Amino acid sequence: MSQHDFTVDNGAGVAVRADINLALKALASQSSGASAPSPTFPAQVWADTGTGRLKQRNAANSAWVDKGPIDGPMAPLDSPVFTTLVQVPNAASANQAVAFGQVSGVVGQARNARLYQSTASSIATFTADEVVVETVLGGLRYCLPNVNKTINLGTVGAGGMDTGAAPVSGFVGLYAIYNPSTAASALLAVNASALVGQVYGGANMPAGYTASALIAVLPTNASSQFLPVLLRDRRVSFAPRTAISTNTMAGSPTALSVSGSIPANAVSVGGSFGLTSTVASNLSTTLSEDAVNALAGSQFALNGVTLVNTFELDVTGAQFIYYQCASSAGTPTYGINTTSYRF
């Protein structure tokens, strides 16, 4: 243990050398001792052997700062250095470290997403346990917990349309949007008459909102209101809508547009069909995703007067499916209704 006042007095050569050696020893041992060295200097280090702690003078030279045990690692978790937890903010640019909540997930991914409309209305409420949003595809990612947001197609801005009015008898896309600076979130509706992106790509994002995710694509009526629907995750169900009703049979795959009941973002369509005849007949029908029946499709046949069933098909083209139907006797009637889609 050695301490020194770090003042070397004038004197004979041997005495001066001895005084210098004592000062160097004090430096080498970090002024070790059971009592504080005197005088003190800003940033001076003291190995306090009385408490076993390594201390350093603060910049104002007014107090000692505990740096940790002399014989242990510097700044252990139980030292005063770590007694206050500091929350790291979410990253705001690509060269910043991200918080764990920003790391995993896929844009638009949601748990228990739900929107239910029992009657036509301009207002709807979307809920989810959590939703993943991104600044751009592959960009900064945020996970929004406990989402419970209302959308009003009669307003513009956060919580309404991005611009203009909702389409008449068309589709609107709903985005979850997020402002990282304020942690505010909202819904934003867009005209989805054409294909819309998985993140908002328009020019009317509300100020401060930088991350988004497509969470719904829903039909509207002639009054630009939401139709009665049920959204569960990425599946939308609705009352049956007629896609075709005909007495003309189709002996080869025939294209059928379902654009009136499913949006451009739809990746599959579900519904039901019926083939009847006025007399007992060999009834058959095939529903498929393409014009050459290269994919699985759905085939049905029956000897009788009525053939009905349900179907779900992937959509390979722009809101088209393909059908064939045949009846060996009587006057046939063929119909297809759509009742759901996935996006």
Residue 240 predicted with pLDDT over 90: yes
Q: What is the mean pLDDT of the chain?
A: 88
Higher per-residue pLDDT: 93 or 187? 187
Euclidean distance between CA atoms 76 and 87, whole angstroms:
19
Euclidean distance between CA atoms 272 and 244, whole angstroms:
11
- For 89, other C-beta atoms within 10 Å of its C-beta total 10
Q: Is 100 part of a structural domain of the chain?
A: no
Whether 202 and 163 have beta carbons less than 8 Å apart is answered as: yes
Q: CA 179: distance to chain centroid?
A: 13
Q: How many domains does the chain have?
A: 3
The first and second tokens of residue 107, run together, are 């844009």
Query: 248 and 166 share a domain?
Result: no
Residue 220 predicted with pLDDT over 70: yes
Q: Is 96 part of a structural domain of the chain?
A: no
| Side-chain-facing half-sphere of 289: CA atoms under 13 Å | 14
Query: 253 and 170 share a domain?
Result: no
Euclidean distance between CA atoms 204 and 193, whole angstroms:
17
Beta-carbon contacts of residue 149 (< 8 Å; ≥ 6 apart): 125, 126, 127, 159, 176, 185, 186, 187
Euclidean distance between CA atoms 56 and 219, whole angstroms:
69
Q: What is the pLDDT at residue 196? A: 98
Q: Is 103 part of a structural domain of the chain?
A: no
Given 188, 208, 233, the domain boundary residue is 233
Euclidean distance between CA atoms 183 and 287, whole angstroms:
47
Q: Is 202 part of a structural domain of the chain?
A: yes
Q: Write the pLDDT tens digit of every residue in 26-64.
A: 677 777 778 888 888 798 888 788 888 988 899 899 998
Euclidean distance between CA atoms 189 and 69, whole angstroms:
59
Given 233, 250, 280, the domain boundary residue is 233
Lowest mean pLDDT among 16-25, 250-259, 278-287: 16-25
Query: 244 and 337 share a domain?
Result: yes
Euclidean distance between CA atoms 274 and 285, whole angstroms:
9
Q: What does the DSSP 8-state code read for residue 106?
A: -
Query: 192 and 221 share a domain?
Result: yes
Q: Write the pLDDT tens digit of every residue in 297-313.
A: 678 888 889 999 999 99
Euclidean distance between CA atoms 335 and 333, whole angstroms:
7
Query: 119 and 216 share a domain?
Result: yes
Query: 250 and 329 share a domain?
Result: yes
Q: What are phi and psi of 17, to 5 degrees?
A: -60, -40
Domain range enclosing 203? 110-233
Query: 299 and 329 share a domain?
Result: yes
Q: Is 291 part of a structural domain of the chain?
A: yes
Query: 117 and 229 share a domain?
Result: yes
Computed from CA positions of residues 202, 203, 206, 210, in that sequence, does the dihedral angle turn out positive or negative? Answer: positive
Q: What are phi and psi of 16, to 5 degrees?
A: -65, -40
Q: Which residues of 131-143 are buried (b: 16+ CB within 10 A; e: fewer)?
A: bbbbbeeeebbbb
Q: Write the pLDDT tens digit of every residue in 60-107.
A: 999 988 888 888 765 554 555 445 555 566 666 666 666 655 667 899
**Position 208 confidence tier, pLDDT thresholds 50, 70, 90:** very high
Q: What does the DSSP 8-state code read for residue 87?
A: P
H or E stretch covering 63: none
Q: Report which of 105, 104, 142, 108 is spatially closest to residue 126, judged by C-alpha positions.
A: 108
Q: What is the pLDDT at residue 270? A: 97
Given 207, 233, 259, the domain boundary residue is 233
Whether 55 and 45 have beta carbons less than 8 Å apart is answered as: yes
Q: Is 89 part of a structural domain of the chain?
A: no
Q: What does the DSSP 8-state code read for residue 122?
A: S
The pLDDT > 90 percentage for the chain reads: 65
Q: Is 172 part of a structural domain of the chain?
A: yes
Q: Is 47 part of a structural domain of the chain?
A: yes
To the nearest 10°, report the CA torsion of 167, 168, 173, 176. Answer: 70
Q: What is the pLDDT at residue 98? A: 65
Residues pairing with 281 in the sheet: 304
